[in-house]
Structure 1
């Protein structure tokens, strides 16, 4: 490979990539909602949580992608399953139905708000309708998912004698323990040009995370995950487009434009991000409440 070539192959997710933890609440009776589950980080997170034995309700507008995620969970030998629930996050009724479908599967304890989109333009040129769409998907929808899910997570404290759907019953019922996690970003910590909607949404998610923690009474936690650039199919397209537009190599796009500030000169994989959600949901992270898991290779904390 020459110095100008760059390997943009998205790694295939395997069982060896996934963090699997022993946790008393990681079993099929415990349910997690994952939005954006049809691809990228959302897909990896849904599969990782299923690998930890959870029942995962995957929400996305991409029905075919959801089915592929469910198949991938089976392919890696996950003890849990991914249940596809096609969901338009801009439709309030769809969002509520997704949460209710999750609650019908067992004890809803965990939520991973991951779905996101991107648009690049300066503030004067940024289309208002696109701004509204990004905020609807990445900030309003996470609030709405939390609004509906929090009641179900709290209800586990009253369900010690109740069996969940399909006759499953949790040995840990009665504790009301759960967590809602939001996919933030290095752009939730600072701002760059031409990403106003994305940056606004990620900063807002940090506030939502802290609000969940403030109202969670200790047992229902809120946390966020912030990373830099992740090697997903969408990111590959962005790299290739940027290289053409700027007349530079793909390596220069990644190492100079994207990772210029970072000390770790490689992008994360979706599985590496998914493992942060697994850890954050586990009992090992019981003191992670209102905080942020910042894994960015030094992007936001170092400079030259």
Structure 2
């Protein structure tokens, strides 16, 4: 197939995509916040949690995307509910407001910090404004979200809850031209461990690390990487992205969402400060 024929798009969600867990905390009284809920992994996680009966508050700057997420959850007849709140994660006031709105919906126990973005450029050419924006969204905002959410979780009758952070294989190692993303993911791993250290065993912190996931963000990244390295999109996918992996296909957003669902559940009580690394063999294998 010629590269010009290569069409890339994120897969549509379906009801059968999601792990469903019988859990004492998975009901409409329990509230989960999901950032980045207007698309990609954030949308899949929000819908997956609603499919497990939780009340989900989705935070994203994309109001139309949040409405689309709500429509998907409704189309799936999810036993839980989804409420979208237009949120600028770089604004502390907005973060405080969305946490307050979530607490008003029921018992806030879970937070999934998933919102992210990417910019492809060498260190020498990386715009500082873009660097600051990426770290604000992917490192500072998760800290602020944890800071606002922890008192609500600790105020529950048993202080049970979890804050989950979307890390990456790029939180384990570095490749070129992704400095801000890599820096934020390494920092996010430290934040995860700090949450676990302060959580007294009942309020857990964990991270999720995966390789390449076919999301709208990834489609854009493939095009940017092709341009930056002056290679075809096919070469980006097959050589740059999947070349090191043993599993020769990208993950789907729903597959990643299932890791958050499991991580929040009572089956994951001992997942605390650790990382769910589902990377298809990127990190610990080589040729």
TM band (smaller chain): over 0.9
Mapped contact 1:15–1:77 kept (Cα < 8 A): no
**Which residue number in structure 1 is paired with residue 240 of structure 2?**
257
**Which residue number in structure 1 is paired with residue 187 of structure 2?**
204
Report matched runs for 1:95-114 at 5 Å.
Answer: 95-114=95-114
**Which residue number in structure 1 is paired with residue 116 of structure 2?**
116
**Which residue number in structure 1 is paired with residue 63 of structure 2?**
63
Deviation at 1:176, TM superposition (A): 1.4
| Cα-to-partner distance string for 1:2-53 (whole Å, 9 max, x where unaligned) | 3755452421101100111100000000000000000000000000000000
Q: Does 1:142 align with 2:142?
A: yes
**Which residue number in structure 1 is paired with residue 153 of structure 2?**
153
**Which residue number in structure 2 is paired with residue 237 of structure 1?**
220
Relative to structure 2, which stretch is displaced further, 270-279 or 226-235?
Answer: 226-235
Query: 1:176 and 1:245, CA in 2 relative to 1: closer, same or farther beyond 3 A?
Result: closer
Report matched runs for 1:147-296 at 5 Å.
Answer: 147-156=147-156, 174-243=157-226, 246=229, 248-296=231-279
* Runs (5+) with no aligned partner, structure 1: 157-173
**Which residue number in structure 2 is paired with residue 168 of structure 1?**
none
**Which residue number in structure 1 is paired with residue 51 of structure 2?**
51
Query: 1:119 and 1:246, CA in 2 relative to 1: closer, same or farther beyond 3 A?
Result: closer
Q: Distance between the aligned counterparts of 2:22 and 2:129, measured in 1?
A: 45
Mapped contact 1:49–1:278 kept (Cα < 8 A): yes
Query: 1:121 and 1:245, CA in 2 relative to 1: closer, same or farther beyond 3 A?
Result: closer
Relative to structure 2, which stretch is displaced further, 5-14 or 189-198?
Answer: 5-14
Deviation at 1:252, TM superposition (A): 2.0
Mapped contact 2:120–2:221 kept (Cα < 8 A): no
Q: Distance between the aligned counterparts of 1:77 and 1:265, measured in 2?
A: 34
TM-score by length of 2: 0.96
**Which residue number in structure 1 is paired with residue 132 of structure 2?**
132
Q: Distance between the aligned counterparts of 1:250 and 1:193, measured in 2?
A: 17
Mapped contact 1:42–1:115 kept (Cα < 8 A): yes
Deviation at 1:178, TM superposition (A): 0.2
RMSD (Å), alpha carbons: 1.3
Secondary structure, in 3 states, of the residue corresponding to 2:108?
A: strand
Mapped contact 1:31–1:55 kept (Cα < 8 A): yes
Mapped contact 2:120–2:228 kept (Cα < 8 A): no
| Cα-to-partner distance string for 1:57-89 (whole Å, 9 max, x where unaligned) | 000000010011011111112111110111000
Secondary structure, in 3 states, of the residue corresponding to 1:198?
A: helix
Q: Distance between the aligned counterparts of 2:192 and 2:269, measured in 1?
A: 15
Mapped contact 1:223–1:292 kept (Cα < 8 A): yes
How many pairs are equivalent? 286
Q: Distance between the aligned counterparts of 1:127 and 1:8, measured in 2?
A: 27
**Which residue number in structure 2 is paired with residue 169 of structure 1?**
none
**Which residue number in structure 2 is paired with residue 32 of structure 1?**
32
Q: Distance between the aligned counterparts of 1:255 and 1:293, measured in 2?
A: 24
